[in-house]
A = this chain, B = another copy of it.
């Protein structure tokens, strides 16, 4: 099915399902049922991420970003996606996904990309379990609570998808080790984040710190950090080590920057973007970049995948932060309103404060700067003018989301196409060298 036809098909289907513009962000992702418990239903910005990543792995444009009116403070910003799941046979050539920033439509899913990378991801799951082992029983117990039994594995998925996209076909498991390493870095930061943010829920379950206490979370987080470095060393590439160690250091820097910006309503949007680039997008970027590197593609493919990961990560975090005001706890699988309670400065607050009237600014100063929060402040009440409701209006953060979402679909398809062409040429030169890459695996 040609791209345009697939797009049209998806749109038609979404409209038939009664999708329409709505007043709130209404997307949720059908989670991966790794443990079969159905507890992994989460969002984490996958509306953008899933479709863009799936598209990247296929080397096709991420679909059209619907043109919309200019951004106004009073817009009801909505973010949702269409997902055209065709039959598995169609994936190698016919996949295309519409990313829409307007309208209330069916949720997108990571499933297409996960199906394509299923074998690799099953290996990643096994490697994760193997590398969490320790004679100290609390380590696998706590780590498994977070890493083994949940999560969509977006970052390791990026690594294996990028590696396969770049024609990785070696018989070894270096891409699996790198993907595991990336997941461990992410998991370590989650454990420490939940301690820092005093979070009670993570992935629909009580957070590790609420079960085992802050001390255990800090120390097991350290263990996962260090174990990730052991994995990197196993891979045996100093260049890859440089990328991942730099990313880890940038993440830590971003977390500290976020901490010092906390409760400061005058934080500029640029600082916020620096924070999310560092604490989130840098690991997405590195995850995709090392996929190219392990496949031996250190030229334009590496640059393109790094850029793709960075923009995907930014879009991801924009949505994640929006959902803390606009999402629903049962769908997200994590506590809603944590950012507000912590006095964390995210884009909805920055925009609401910047564009708000005096009374609204006073509200933000009281609740965020002084952390003087009262029942109903979070918008549970019926008062339509309550500022968090206004924050919800800004939660979509449409212009930056559109910008970074579009960038995900920028140079990558071109390079992916070049990658496919190169693969074809190489196959002619060295039959069998890259043929181990089955069409169905990205």
Mark A residues whose CB is within 8 Å of B: 134-139, 188-189, 192, 195-196, 214-216, 218-220, 222-223, 225-227, 229-230, 232-233, 236, 238, 241-242, 245-246, 248-249, 251-253, 255-257, 259-260
15 contacts between A and B (CB under 8 A): A136-B257, A189-B222, A192-B218, A192-B222, A195-B218, A196-B219, A216-B259, A219-B255, A219-B259, A220-B252, A222-B252, A222-B255, A223-B249, A225-B225, A229-B249
Is A230 touching B256 in the complex (CB atoms < 8 A)?
no
A309 to chain B, nearest CB (A): 18
Bound-complex Cα distance A407 to B189 (A): 39
The interface centre, meaning the residue of A139, A222, A248 with most chain B CB atoms within 10 A of its CB, is A222
Is A196 touching B215 in the complex (CB atoms < 8 A)?
yes
Q: Which residues of B contact A134 (CB under 8 A)?
A: 253, 256
Bound-complex Cα distance A285 to B220 (A): 22
A213 to chain B, nearest CB (A): 9
A106 to chain B, nearest CB (A): 38
Bound-complex Cα distance A387 to B55 (A): 68
| A236 and B233 in contact, given A222-B225, A226-B245, A256-B219 (Cβ under 8 angstroms) | no
A245 to chain B: closest residue by CB: B229
The interface centre, meaning the residue of A218, A220, A236 with most chain B CB atoms within 10 A of its CB, is A218
Known: A232-B245, A233-B238, A233-B242. 5 other contacts (CB 8 A): A136-B256, A138-B259, A227-B249, A230-B246, A236-B238
Is B196 touching A260 in the complex (CB atoms < 8 A)?
no
Q: Which residues of B contact A246 (CB under 8 A)?
A: 230
A192 to chain B: closest residue by CB: B218
Q: Which residues of B contact A135 (CB under 8 A)?
A: 253
A240 to chain B: closest residue by CB: B233
The interface centre, meaning the residue of A189, A219, A220, A259 with most chain B CB atoms within 10 A of its CB, is A219
